[in-house]
Amino acid sequence: MINLSHIYKTYTGPVHALKNVDLKIDKGEFVFLTGPSGAGKTTLFKMLSAYDRASSGSIDVAGYNLMGITPKDIPHFRRRIGVIYQDFKLLKDRTIFENVAMPLIVRGDRPQQIQRRVSEVLENVGLFSKAQQLPDFISGGEQQRTAIARALVHQPGLLIADEPTGNLDPELSEDIMDLLDRVCAQGTTVFVATHDHDMVKRRKRRTLQIKDGQIVGDLR
Amino acid sequence: MINHVIKTWKHHASLQLATLVVLIAGFTVITGVLTVSNNLYRILTLWGESMQMSVYLSETATIENTSAIEKFLGDSGKVDKVRLVTKDEALNQFRDQMASYAPDILKDKDLLRFIPASFQFGLNKNISIQDQLKVMQEITASVSGMAGVEEVSYGQDWVKSYGAIVNTLAWMGAAFVLVILLSAAFVMSNSIHSSIEQRREEIEVLELIGATRAHIRLPYIFEGALLGGTSSVLALGFSYGLFSATKNYLSGQIAFLQLAGHIEFIQPGFILMVVGFAIGIGALASYLCVRRINDGWAASQSLIEGH
Ligand SMILES: Nc1ncnc2c1ncn2[C@@H]1O[C@H](COP(=O)(O)OP(=O)(O)OP(=O)(O)O)[C@@H](O)[C@H]1O
Ligand SMILES: [Mg+2]
């Protein structure tokens, strides 16, 4: 599902955010990514989700070669994956329902289908009652769950989650992780960045450690 | 698409309003310039139509000479209302005009010999005012050489300066309209640019969730076209109001110039051109602008990158 080799990412500065990263994740795996702040977790996810281009190396995700992807193919690749952004990336002028429905709208689903599927996902993240609110009028945790719902609504083959429980209380965090487990059980590959070491310990999943832009551990 | 526009207005009302106002102002200026130059042209054309040419026949001109000249003028297709003024008619006209000033002159029998017969005519209406001088000179050149022609006259000096004025005005008008059009296009694309730039976040997010280029761009292009079209129509209405007020002023305050009857608003063809130009430039500006942002990697190029 994910195959990275010799990935470098250098931001202007220059900041060497990723240095010679090699990584392989199989279809259906559930993998945690941990590391201190500034280690390069978000940067790695940006490379995997075609949010940004790597400086060098090769990236294969879900059958797409992201180093050579054409502008025409980018949307099709992005429809195959779901991403929970650390900063959510919700549109402030659209309701929670509309935000969550967007991945289905852009691929041209029928309104009835959209209605049904969005309601279902909002139910799963406990936001059904907030469907008609605007993002600015709900709590940070609720915004985070909206972002989770939007990443799951189109049942992607790969879910990339950048600190999906960062704003949630422990109980809700557990609920969300259970939800991600269920999604994984249905065949989606799940890759989660987190600072929550207790949760990582409890869940006993493959865990990658990143530090200063390099993978320094891969615990199975 | 309509939803997109409604949403834009709901959430960026003041920005959209500012853009609309700028565009209306721009198109009002364009319409104003077009109206003024159109009317200047009309008035100059009216003057041009009243210009007369005369071909004076020599004493020795035969009937054949005369009809050859008449045939030549008629066949040229460039002149209108060719009229033969015989010696007697010319003399009578002269008498009528001079009777009150110098009755003595009329008793002079020799005078008859000095007033020649002539062809009087105007230029064909289809000849544009820029070409009038050239056409008059051409006619003069070819007719002067014909047998039985004494002299060709069209008030040479006056016509020359009239022609120069018309040409200068035409060039200045064209240059001015071009400058105005270019700056209007510039102002439009600028305000549409900033209006889209403000919504770049939406484009970024749409890209990230896999919207195609067409899906992202079409609503913006439609919006640009609508903005251009609406503002030009409003500007035309506004200009028409200004025009009517001016016309009223002309017929009231300075009626003696008799200009009011001759001036008119820009022609329907021009109106369509202005609206078409506005729609086109609105759509084009939007397209160029959204295309620049929507290159597939919009989010990674965002200036306000959050973590
Ligand atoms: N757009 C950018 N331009 C310049 N430097 C950047 C940019 N984005 C990230 N960096 C730098 O790259 C390094 C890795 O950042 P990254 O966001 O990947 O860290 P992270 O592991 O996600 O941290 P956190 O746990 O705080 O989210 C940091 O030193 C950061 O300052
Ligand atoms: Mg991060």
pLDDT of residue B106: 61
Residue of A nearest to B300 (CA): A52
pLDDT of residue A161: 95
Residue B251 has pLDDT above 70, yes or no: yes
Residue of B nearest to A87 (CA): B307
Omega before B268 cis (within 30°)?
Answer: no
Pocket test for ligand 1, best of A42, A87, A197, A214 (most atoms within 8 A of CB): A42
**This prediction's pTM:** 0.75
pLDDT of residue B102: 65
Token pair listed for A87: 């900063």
- Nearest CA to B141 out of B230, B72, B226, B51 is that of B72
Q: What distance, in Å, lies between the first and last C-alpha atoms of chain A? A: 17
Residue B278 has pLDDT above 80, yes or no: yes
Please state the atom number of ligand 1 nearest to the C-alpha of residue A39: 21
Using alpha carbons, list the distances in angstroms from residue B199 to A81, A215, B286, B290: 24, 37, 12, 10
Q: Average pLDDT, whole number, for chain B?
A: 81
A187 Rama sector, left if φ>0, alpha if ψ -120 to 50, beta otherwise = left
pLDDT of residue B117: 85
| CA B221 to ligand 2 center in whole angstroms | 35
Contact between residue B227 and residue B19 where contact means Cβ atoms under 8 Å apart: yes
Residue B273's H or E segment, with its range, is helix B268-293
Interface test with B, best of A87, A106, A159 (most B CBs within 10 A): A106
The answer to whether B292 faces chain A, any CB pair under 8 Å, is no
Chain A segment 32-61 residues within 8 A of B by beta carbon are 42, 46, 49, 51-53
pLDDT of residue B100: 67
| CA A4 to ligand 1 center in whole angstroms | 19
The answer to whether A10 faces chain B, any CB pair under 8 Å, is no
Complex ipTM value: 0.93
Q: How many domains does chain A have?
A: 1
Task: Write down the domain spans for chain B.
Answer: 2-46+163-305, 52-153
A11 lines ligand 1 (CB under 6 A): yes
The secondary structure of chain A, three-state, reads CEEEEEEEEEECCCEEEEEEEEEEECCCCEEEEECCCCCCHHHHHHHHCCCCCCCEEEEEECCEECCCCCCCCHHHHHHHEEEECCCCCCCCCCCHHHHHHHHHHHCCCCHHHHHHHHHHHHHHCCCHHHCCCCHHHCCHHHHHHHHHHHHHCCCCCEEEEECCCCCCCHHHHHHHHHHHHHHHHCCCEEEEECCCHHHHHHHCCEEEEEECCEEEEEEC
Q: Could you tell me the CATH number of the domain that includes residue A192?
A: 3.40.50.300
What gap in Å lies between CA B293 and CA B116, rounded to an integer? 79
A117 compared with B102, residue with greater pLDDT: A117
Q: Which residues pair with A218 in a beta bridge?
A: A208
Contact between residue B304 and residue B202 where contact means Cβ atoms under 8 Å apart: no
Q: What is the pLDDT of residues A58-111, one digit of tens each?
A: 999 999 999 999 989 999 999 999 999 999 999 998 999 999 999 999 999 999
Sequence letter at residue A52: D
Residue A30 has pLDDT above 60, yes or no: yes
Interface test with B, best of A10, A100, A107 (most B CBs within 10 A): A107
Partners of B3 on chain A (C-beta within 8 Å) are none
A38 lines ligand 1 (CB under 6 A): yes
Residue A112 has pLDDT above 80, yes or no: yes
pLDDT of residue B49: 66
- Class of the CATH domain delimited by B52-153: alpha beta
The Cα diameter of chain B in Å comes to: 109
Beta-carbon-side half-sphere exposure of residue A30 (alpha carbons within 13 Å): 15
pLDDT band with cut points at 50, 70 and 90 for residue B140: confident
Q: What is the pLDDT of residues B181-238, one digit of tens each?
A: 787 778 777 777 877 887 888 899 999 999 999 999 999 899 889 989 999 999 999 9
- Nearest CA to A196 out of A45, A35, A42 is that of A35
